[in-house]
Amino acid sequence: METGTVKFYNDQKGYGFIAPDNGEKDVFVHATALERAGLSGLNEGDKVSFDTEIDSRSGKTAVANITMA
């Protein structure tokens, strides 16, 4: 799993972005990934661990699994 910091998350819209600690491009996180992990939301500055996958609809990299670090 990679680690990173929540850069932005909007509960009303159900998505946000995580800045990976390795300095790579920000990763998209959708509310469905949080639901699968049993998380109710994220706050700016939260430290998280996550796995990524290619989103089948958009073809872009997105968070697949996430836990609080």
Convert the pLDDT of each residue in 3-31 to its tens digit. Answer: 999 999 999 999 999 999 999 999 999 99
Q: Which domain holds residue 32?
A: 2-68
Domains in the chain, number: 1
Q: Cα dist. 54→11, 44, 47, 64 in Å?
A: 22, 24, 22, 9
Q: Which residues contact 26 (CB under 8 A, 6 or more apart)?
A: 7, 17, 18, 19, 20
- Does the pLDDT of residue 56 top 90, yes or no? no
Which CATH number fits the domain that encloses residue 33? 2.40.50.140
Q: What is the pTM of this model?
A: 0.92
